[in-house]
Amino acid sequence: MIVIARFTLQEALRRRLVLLIGLLGLLFLGLFLFGIHLQEAAFERRDASLGINAPPATRFIWMFFSVSGLYMVSFLGSLIAVLGAAGSLSGELEAGTLLTLVTKPISRSALLLGRWLGLLVLTLGFIVLLGGGLIIGEYRLTGYLPPASLAALGLMLLSVAFLVTFTLMGSTSLGTLPNAVLFLLLYGLAWAGGIAEAIGRATATPLLVRLGQISRYLFPTNALWRGASYYLQDPSFLDRQKALGVQGINPFIGQNPPSPHLLLWSLTYLLAILGIAIFLFQKRDL
């Protein structure tokens, strides 16, 4: 399994996938932190002209920078997860190159688990490096640190791991392009379900709330992001949302921590999908 995982990473390097991902990630991180630097310089000029220190509201601005930046990291990581896993098996099945590995003393389950592990290292590494770089860079520039950065990154990693596993399962039965399109659509539908739930809460429409809750458990990527965003927000900001009675109606960020049963469901769901992927791959006619 470890050999296949290493082979998967070497293949990504040979195809310059890692190089491309790294360059795009560095470009995004550099532009984002440069924007924060410009904003911080503007605040300093304003404070100097007025003879004041930065008001408390400035902390909320940096919080929104952090949430929006990590949302983009989560989105990019999700794209990498789907596009990287979509053809991990189906592409080689179509080309016939997978037969050379299957004929060796490697079980199909070990082959699939090796692919899964290699893809996880690639995508989760992207999230950790880019997300961690963004958090540390913003802290060095502004002094703002999200209240629970590790918890937020952990939920982002779980969301990406879920996408890798689900897309890898699709790669055992579907072609590369249909598989990628299917799971990108499901990712978008999960996001739309979160919007529907927020609208339902704002307009007191139980049907929309129920549809959003169903999508949360069918494809929990958006729910996991909303849980991650909760840990990125300042507690005083969350208290103000509660005081204003607008808790739970923002379709892009969460105002509540993820429930334990959602986390347990997501982990169980992920392992079940991995088991189904192994079963389908073993039954697949090569």
Where are the domains positioned within the chain? 2-283
pTM over 0.75: yes
pLDDT tens for 7-19 read 666 676 666 766 7
Pure H helices in the chain: 2-14, 17-50, 57-86, 90-95, 98-102, 108-142, 149-171, 176-203, 206-218, 221-230, 235-244, 260-283
Query: Band of the pLDDT at 103, cuts 50, 70, 90?
Result: low
Query: Band of the pLDDT at 241, cuts 50, 70, 90?
Result: low
Counting other chains too, the contacts that 148-151 makes at CB distance below 8 Å and 24 or more residues apart are: 148/231, 148/232, 149/231, 149/232, 151/228, 151/231
Query: Band of the pLDDT at 249, cuts 50, 70, 90?
Result: low
- What does the alpha-carbon distance between residue 119 and residue 125 come to, in Å, rounded to a whole number? 10
pLDDT (average), residues 121-146: 89
For the chain, the average pLDDT equals: 81
Query: Band of the pLDDT at 265, cuts 50, 70, 90?
Result: very high
- What does the alpha-carbon distance between residue 180 and residue 91 come to, in Å, rounded to a whole number? 12
Model confidence at 96: pLDDT above 60: no
pLDDT (average), residues 93-121: 73
Query: Band of the pLDDT at 150, cuts 50, 70, 90?
Result: very high
